[in-house]
Amino acid sequence: MKKLKASDIQLITGGSVKVYKGIYTIGKAYYYRNVDLTEWWISIEDKLNKSNLDFKRVDWGDTFKEFRGGDNVWQGSHFWYQFKLLG
């Protein structure tokens, strides 16, 4: 399987994406937590499955940080989902 860039995954999932040592991390920022975390990561897996990617979930979670204004996804509160490609 060809190596995908973060921008390829961003087009599939619509979230902000980072790649480090073969682990893709998708992030979704929030100010008010009005989305269920489980609901969000299931939607990410659905999008990845529909793209016919062979992947394995590594981890997922929620990072809460006090609002400061002007933060990017990774500096503020965000949900995150990590996976690696197989094959």
What is the domain extent for residue 10? 6-85
Q: How far apart are CA 53 and CA 78, in angstroms?
A: 24
Would you say residue 1 lies in a domain? no
Q: Rounded to whole angstroms, how far apart are CA atoms 67 and 31?
A: 7
Q: Is the pLDDT of residue 70 over 60?
A: yes
Average pLDDT for residues 52-60, to the nearest whole number?
Answer: 93
Q: For residue 69, what pLDDT is reported?
A: 77
- Please report whether residue 63 resides in a domain: yes
Q: Is residue 50 included in any domain, yes or no? A: yes
Q: Give percent above pLDDT 90 in the chain.
A: 38
Q: What is the pLDDT of residue 1?
A: 54
Residue-level pLDDT at 2? 61
20 within a domain of the structure (yes/no) = yes
Instruction: Tell me if 69 is assigned to some domain.
Output: yes
- DSSP lists the bridge partners of residue 61 as 80
